Amino acid sequence: KAGVTQTPRYLIKTRGQQVTLSCSPISGHRSVSWYQQTPGQGLQFLFEYFSETQRNKGNFPGRFSGRQFSNSRSEMNVSTLELGDSALYLCASSLGGTGQYGYTFGSGTRLTVV
């Protein structure tokens, strides 16, 4: 059974650019969540999608957005990149609500903004 696949693994972008990250969850998992991980802030919740609908949203500016497709694959987009957006972005899939099943994480996308 394939795991959670995130692409690309590494990205270097310039301030002001935009970026799109992709996540394919485990087959059958309908919930996809995104987290930002930084040394200083730990794991910060971005948003969660369930059956193509955003079900939860964290406290991030509107520059951060996402979507989920009918096959449960998800993308997140960050526009007008800032230096502070440099982080490891983790995608996590879950069969249903995370409370009941916990997450299966992808390997992450390491974004560096220069």
Partner 1 sequence: AQTVTQSQPEMSVQEAETVTLSCTYDTSENNYYLFWYKQPPSRQMILVIRQEAYKQQNATENRFSVNFQKAAKSFSLKISDSQLGDTAMYFCAVGTNAGKSTFGDGTTLTVKP
Residues that bind partner 1 (CB under 8 A): 3, 31, 33, 35, 42-43, 45, 48, 50, 55-56, 58, 90, 96-100, 102-108
Sign of CA dihedral 97, 3, 63, 86: positive
Tell the smallest beta-carbon distance from residue 61 to partner 1 (Å): 18
Rounded CA separation 69/52 (Å): 6
Tell the smallest beta-carbon distance from residue 11 to partner 1 (Å): 16
Cβ-based nearer residue to partner 1, 40 or 62: 40
Rounded CA separation 30/52 (Å): 8
Whether residue 8 is preceded by a cis peptide bond, meaning omega within 30 degrees of 0, is: yes
Cβ-based nearer residue to partner 1, 85 or 93: 93
Cβ-based nearer residue to partner 1, 4 or 81: 4
Rounded CA separation 34/102 (Å): 14
Helix or strand holding residue 35 (H, E): strand 31-38
Cβ-based nearer residue to partner 1, 84 or 102: 102
Tell the smallest beta-carbon distance from residue 112 to partner 1 (Å): 15
Tell the smallest beta-carbon distance from residue 105 to partner 1 (Å): 4
